[in-house]
């Protein structure tokens, strides 16, 4: 390994050459970098591939859970984050990526490549034993799991995953003439947001405004209709091949031919790769989006899928007045990649929707319930009213499930508030003059949360998007959101906010941040960031009263602690210094003594950090603690 008074970021050169292998970083510069790494020229050089290769689980978690990076994307060398973690010999990162849904099945290109690149036998064993899921809709994604379970409950389809706990609470059921025994239920809000044809029919045709819609078309195949509804709810399609032409005809009628083109492209790619389609056509729009990004050399960072964008539309249309006030907190300004070059379903159910909204303003004005996308519950927070949909809130949050189900919604007090509830708005504004169907919603008053924070909570429930957290620079706002995510039992949001808070940890607030990390479950990344700051600022903090208090509290967590027992936080600090600093230095060799006093050299770095560890031991002794 080449060394130039620091550490060369390279691996076994005989095995494989990787991007950035020639980059040399002085170790003291490394210690002083911010949360993201920058080159000497100030250019951003870090991404999930580099972090996985370095074994930096903290940053891999950040990119995955805060930036929204897709785990199965490829770089220009056709490598995935899992491949680089295997090549670098980092089993903890490999385990994390597998748990999150990274692909590595034996007999596939990705699987065999990762097995070949695995740096140790332990990693190879981990790859072979892990029962990995070969789809982006993996069991660790609560959002897609909820949507698949929701569609299965609505359509009566077969689904082997967790069953839907909340009542689907559909407001429309379709009965097809060709098979009246298999109705398909749905929600007007979702169908209208995802497909312009459905919204147009809900607005124009009185028959479609009824709870049950009978489609008197003997040529419409139920399987094709069910597959289209599956795509609308899940971004995924499983269609028996014999109904492909029927599906094409249905998409043409619904003005969704770009979806057909996407599926045809996917089938062509499989045929080129020698993969047989078989009896069932399977298509995933999220996978297709990743392929588009690869073909167009677009980095997968902070991008909403079309499904998320459309579910966001449901939320925003239900709250047009509040969108003007709070929309900047959550609305993405990023380019939506799945609309790239107009060759996507968004060309039909995205841009076309906007034209429909402009040309059918008269119909919208006559149907205020449709205009605000059929909400069925409202919340009052700090005097502001938020409209929402019970099936989404209850399905995404155990808190809202308990709040909105059973006896609570049937209580006398709620019925009274429902009958007297009216939205205060100016009648001169067409977007704020709501008909009685929207005014007389069940109302629930919430306290202990700000309106701005509740807006972000609802936006997450509808979209599962967390990447806009990086635009929040106000520490108090992040702390409020963390508390709310914990209260509403939104674990992914809580973990993501904690990850974002870790960027703000510094020597001046590290002890307060440790208290926050200990208060909430699922905030290990925030705790690790605190450990990192404590270790890197050890000389500055070790003699403070705050450090002494933290050490004593940590020691007290060990039941019946003996004098020589470990202290968890001290162990963490020592582990960070040893593993992330000392073990990364080149092995000590004869002649290195000459460099001990040369600032920046590996020998000098080793001597300085060993002195800091000795200083830590002395402080513990002064506190009467040995470990």
Q: What is the 3-state secondary structure (H, E, C) of 383-395?
A: CEEEEECHHHHHH
What are the residues facing 446 on neighbouring strands? Answer: 381
In the predicted model, what is the mean pLDDT of residues 54-60?
A: 86
Whether residues 110 and 193 fall in one domain = no
User: pLDDT confidence of 367, banded at 50, 70, 90?
Assistant: low
- pLDDT tens figures, 92-142: 899 888 888 787 765 566 777 788 788 788 888 888 776 443 334 444 578
pLDDT at 455 over 80: yes
CA distances 561 to 451, 514, 565, 571, 624, Å, are 46, 22, 6, 15, 13
Q: What pLDDT does residue 339 have?
A: 37
Whether residues 108 and 151 fall in one domain = no
- pLDDT tens figures, 191-238: 999 999 999 999 889 999 999 999 998 889 999 999 999 999 999 999
Q: What are the start-end ranges of the E strands in 383-479?
A: 384-388, 443-446
What is the three-class DSSP state of 176? strand
CA–chain centroid gap for 581, Å, is 31
- 50, 20 in Cβ contact below 8 A? yes
Q: 104 Cβ partners below 8 Å, 6+ apart?
A: 82, 98, 110, 111, 114, 115, 127, 130, 132
CA–CA dist 234, 244 (Å, integer): 19
What is the Cα gyration radius of the chain? 28
CA–CA dist 392, 302 (Å, integer): 23
pTM assigned to the model = 0.72
* H-run or E-run covering 497: helix 491-502
Pick the last residue of a domain from 264, 295, 326.
Answer: 295
Whether residues 19 and 113 fall in one domain = yes
Residue reference for tokens 């020691």: 555
How high is the mean pLDDT of the chain? 75
- H helix runs in 557-601, sequence order: 568-576
In-domain check, residue 398: no
In-domain check, residue 169: yes
Nearest to residue 485, comparing CAs of 514, 453, 441? 453
- pLDDT tens figures, 290-347: 666 666 655 444 456 888 889 999 999 899 888 888 877 665 444 333 333 333 454 4
Q: What pLDDT does residue 176 have?
A: 92
pLDDT at 496 over 60: yes
Nearest to residue 106, comparing CAs of 96, 118, 95, 90? 118
In-domain check, residue 232: yes
Pick the last residue of a domain from 105, 129, 153.
Answer: 129
- pLDDT tens figures, 577-586: 887 787 777 7
Whether residues 125 and 214 fall in one domain = no
Whether residues 157 and 272 fall in one domain = yes
CA–CA dist 376, 394 (Å, integer): 12
User: pLDDT confidence of 162, banded at 50, 70, 90?
Assistant: low
- pLDDT tens figures, 11-21: 232 333 323 22
In-domain check, residue 444: no
In-domain check, residue 335: no
The percent of residues above 90 in pLDDT, for the chain, comes to 26
In-domain check, residue 157: yes
CA–CA dist 258, 350 (Å, integer): 11
In-domain check, residue 35: yes
Whether residues 125 and 146 fall in one domain = no
What is the three-class DSSP state of 287? helix
Whether residues 83 and 191 fall in one domain = no
Report the CATH number that the domain containing residue 94 is assigned in CATH.
1.25.40.20
Q: How many domains does the chain have?
A: 3
Whether residues 601 and 555 fall in one domain = yes
Whether residues 166 and 26 fall in one domain = no
User: What strands lie across the sheet with 212-215, from one edge to the other?
Assistant: 179-186, 172-176, 212-215
- 440, 329 in Cβ contact below 8 A? no
- pLDDT tens figures, 589-606: 655 555 666 676 777 888
Whether residues 121 and 14 fall in one domain = yes
Q: What pLDDT does residue 22 have?
A: 28
- 380, 472 in Cβ contact below 8 A? no
78 φ/ψ sector (left φ>0, alpha ψ -120 to 50, else beta): left
CA–CA dist 321, 343 (Å, integer): 33
Q: 490 Cβ partners below 8 Å, 6+ apart?
A: 396, 397, 457, 460, 461
Out of 486-495, 511-520, 553-562, which region has the weakest mean confidence (pLDDT)?
Answer: 553-562
CA–CA dist 98, 484 (Å, integer): 29
- Residue 617 or residue 24, greater confidence: 617
The percent of residues above 70 in pLDDT, for the chain, comes to 69
- 602, 6 in Cβ contact below 8 A? yes
Pick the last residue of a domain from 129, 154, 176.
Answer: 129
CA–chain centroid gap for 522, Å, is 15
Residue reference for tokens 């909820």: 146
Whether residues 161 and 89 fall in one domain = no
Q: What pLDDT does residue 259 have?
A: 92
Out of 258-262, 342-346, 434-438, which region has the weakest mean confidence (pLDDT)?
Answer: 342-346
Q: For the chain, what's the residue count? A: 627
CA distances 379 to 400, 439, 455, 556, Å, are 11, 12, 11, 43
Which residue segment(s) compose the domain that 553 sits in? Answer: 537-622
In-domain check, residue 210: yes
Instruction: Show contacts of 64-67: CB within 8 Å, 24+ apart.
Output: 64/100, 65/466, 65/492, 65/495, 65/496, 65/499, 66/466, 66/467, 66/469, 66/470, 66/496, 66/499, 66/500, 67/301, 67/302, 67/467, 67/470
Whether residues 92 and 196 fall in one domain = no
């Amino acid at each position: 390994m080449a060394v130039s008074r620091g550490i060369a970021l390279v691996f076994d050169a005989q095995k494989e050459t990787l991007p950035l292998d020639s980059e040399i970083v002085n170790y003291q510069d490394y210690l002083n970098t911010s949360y993201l790494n920058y080159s000497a020229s100030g250019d951003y050089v870090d991404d999930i591939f580099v972090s996985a290769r370095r074994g930096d689980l903290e940053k891999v978690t950040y990119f995955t859970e805060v930036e929204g990076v897709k785990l199965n994307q490829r770089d220009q060398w056709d490598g995935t984050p899992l491949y680089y973690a295997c090549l670098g010999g980092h089993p903890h990162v490999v385990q994390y990526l597998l748990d999150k849904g990274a692909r590595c099945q034996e007999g596939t290109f990705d699987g065999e490549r990762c097995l070949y690149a695995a740096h140790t036998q332990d990693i190879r064993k981990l790859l072979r034993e892990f029962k990995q899921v070969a789809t982006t809709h993996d069991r660790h994604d609560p959002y897609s799991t909820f949507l698949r379970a929701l569609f299965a409950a609505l359509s009566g389809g077969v689904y082997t995953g967790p069953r839907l706990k909340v009542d689907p609470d559909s407001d429309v059921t379709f009965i097809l003439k060709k098979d009246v025994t298999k109705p398909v239920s749905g929600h007007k809000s979702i169908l209208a947001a995802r497909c312009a044809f459905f919204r147009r029919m809900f607005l124009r045709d009185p028959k479609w405004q009824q709870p049950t819609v009978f489609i008197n078309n003997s040529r419409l195949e139920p399987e094709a209709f069910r597959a289209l509804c599956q795509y609308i709810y899940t971004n995924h399609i499983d269609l028996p091949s014999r109904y492909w032409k029927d599906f094409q005809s249905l998409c043409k009628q619904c003005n969704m031919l770009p979806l057909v083109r996407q599926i045809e492209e996917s089938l062509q790619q499989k045929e080129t790769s020698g993969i047989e389609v078989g009896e069932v056509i399977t298509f995933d729009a999220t996978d297709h989006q990743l392929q588009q990004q690869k073909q167009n050399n677009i980095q997968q960072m902070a991008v909403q899928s079309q499904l998320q964008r459309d579910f966001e539309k449901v939320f925003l249309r239900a709250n047009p007045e509040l969108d003007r006030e709070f929309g900047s907190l959550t609305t993405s300004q990023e380019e939506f990649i799945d609309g790239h070059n107009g060759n996507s379903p968004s060309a039909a159910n995205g841009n076309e929707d906007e034209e429909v909204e402009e040309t059918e303003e008269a119909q919208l004005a006559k149907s205020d319930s449709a205009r605000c996308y059929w909400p069925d519950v409202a919340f009052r927070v700090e005097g502001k009213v938020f409209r929402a949909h019970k099936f989404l809130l209850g399905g995404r949050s155990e808190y809202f499930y308990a709040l909105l189900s059973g006896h609570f919604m049937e209580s006398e007090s709620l019925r009274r508030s429902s009958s007297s509830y009216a939205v205060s708005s100016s009648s001169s504004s067409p977007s704020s003059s709501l008909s009685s169907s929207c005014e007389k919603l069940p109302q629930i008053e919430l306290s202990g949360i700000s309106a701005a924070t509740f807006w972000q909570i609802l936006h997450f429930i509808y979209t599962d998007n967390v990447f806009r957290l990086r635009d929040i620079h106000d520490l108090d706002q992040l702390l409020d959101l963390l508390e709310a995510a914990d209260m509403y039992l939104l674990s992914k949001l809580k973990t993501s906010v904690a990850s974002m808070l870790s960027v703000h940890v510094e020597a001046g607030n590290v002890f307060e941040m440790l208290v926050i990390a200990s208060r909430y479950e699922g905030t290990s990344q925030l705790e690790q960031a605190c450990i990192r700051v404590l270790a890197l600022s050890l000389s500055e903090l070790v003699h403070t009263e705050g450090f002494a208090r933290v050490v004593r509290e940590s020691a007290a967590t060990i039941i019946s602690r003996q004098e020589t027992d470990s202290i968890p936080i001290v162990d963490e600090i020592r582990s960070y210094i040893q593993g992330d600093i000392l073990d990364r230095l080149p092995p000590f060799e004869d002649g290195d003594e000459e460099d001990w006093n040369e600032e920046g050299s590996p020998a000098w770095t080793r001597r300085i950090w060993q002195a800091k560890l000795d200083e830590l031991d002395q402080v513990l002794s002064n506190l009467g603690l040995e470990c």
